[in-house]
A = this chain, B = another copy of it.
Amino acid sequence: MDLAIGIDIGGTKTKIGLVDQQGECHEHMFFRTQEFENLDDFLDKIKNSIEELKGRLKFPVNCIGCGIGAPNASSRKGTIENAANLKWKGSVPLLEKLKERLNMPMRLMNDASAAALGELVFGNAKGMSDFIVLTLGTGLGAGIVANGKLIEGLDGFAGELGHVSMTLGDGRLTGLGVRGGLEAYVSATGLKRTIVYMQSKYMDPSRFRDIAMNDLHGEDITKAAEEGDPIALKAFDYTADILALAMANFTAFSQPEAFFLMGGLLNSGKWIMEPLEKYFEKYLLEVYKGKVKILTSGMDGKNAAICGAAALIWEVQ
C-alpha cells in the first residue's frame, strides 16, 4: 500500500504517522521534542520511529514521500529559522539533514500551512477558495488560503500571525520579542499567562492561587471553568476577546469564508468557543457580519497535524 509519512514538529511534541491517500492515519506515535538538544539525535529518532511504525503494519508499505510541518519553516528554503518554541536556534537546515537519512521525496512547510493544506485535501475546507487555519498550541500558527492557493510569500514565511502586534501601548512579549504579539495571549501558553494575570488583577478566590504557573495545565483550567472558578472564567473570556479581535482584523485582510481552529487550546471547548463567537460577530465590520464561519478541523482530531503534513506529499501526486 502506498503511504505518505507525515511529521509534525511542535514545541512540545513531535508526531509521526503513516497516512493513505484518503487521509487515514494507519499508525502513529509521538515523542517529546525538547528531549533532543542535538538536531542529529532528533533526526535519528525520526528515522528510527518511521522504521518502527512500518514494522507495526501487517501489510507491505511503499513510502511515497515525507511531509513535515514545523514552526517557522521556510517552504522555499527547507529550513526552520529562529523558532521561538524550539531549542535549535538560528537557521536549521532540516530538509538537507533529513535527506541524509531518508531517501524519498520530501517537503517542509510551516506547521499551520501544512494543517491548512490538510484541511483542503482531506478535511472540511474541500472546495473552499478562501479560508484561514489557526493552530493554537504552544504558540499560534496560521495557514492562509486565498484564491484557492496557500499564501507562502516572498520566501515562504507568510502566516506568522502569532507575532502580529495587537496593541499600540504596553503589551506582553512573544518569544520573538514582539510587544503585544497575539500568541502571547492566544495559545495554550498565553492562557496560562492570563490565569496568572487575572490573579494579579482581581481579588476573587480561585483554586489557582495555590498552584505555581509552571504547574498549570490546560485541562485543569477547563475543569476549573466547569466548576465556576472566576479566574478561569475571566481568563477564557479575555483570551476569546483578543482572538476575536485578531480574527476580525484577519477578515479585513483576506475576507475568508471560514476560520478553522485547532490545537490544544480548542480542548477547552465551549469555554473558549462561546465567548469567541459572541465577540467575533461584534468586532466584524458590517460588510462581513454573518458571512464568516468558525469551524473546527474535519480531520481525525488526534492526527490532524500528521495528516496535514502528509497532505504536502499527497497534494502533488
Contacts and interface: CB of A to CB of B under 8 A. Distances in A.
Interface of A: 72, 81-82, 130, 144, 146-147, 149, 151-161, 163-169, 171, 176, 178, 180, 242, 245, 248-250, 252-257, 283, 285-288, 291-292
A153 B163 CA distance: 23
B161 A180 contact: no
B144 A254 contact: yes
Given A147-B147, A167-B168, 14 more contacts: A81-B287, A146-B146, A147-B149, A149-B149, A153-B255, A153-B256, A154-B291, A155-B255, A157-B255, A158-B254, A158-B255, A163-B285, A167-B167, A167-B169
Q: Please list the 9 inter-chain residue pairs (A to B) with the smallest Cβ-Cβ separation, ordered nearest first.
A: A153-B255, A158-B255, A160-B252, A167-B168, A164-B249, A146-B151, A154-B257, A147-B149, A167-B167
Contacts of A159: 252-253
A147 to B, nearest CB: 5
A281 B257 CA distance: 33
B164 A167 contact: no
Contacts of A81: 286-287
Contacts of A256: 153-154
A176 B255 contact: no
5 contacts: A149-B149, A155-B291, A157-B287, A158-B255, A168-B169
B165 A283 contact: yes
A166 B167 contact: yes
A157 B283 contact: no
Contacts of A292: 154
Contacts of A151: 130, 146-147, 253-255
Nearest to A185: B168
Given A130-B153, A151-B147, A165 B287 contact: no
Contacts of A250: 253
A267 to B, nearest CB: 25
Contact of A164 (B82, B178, B253): B253
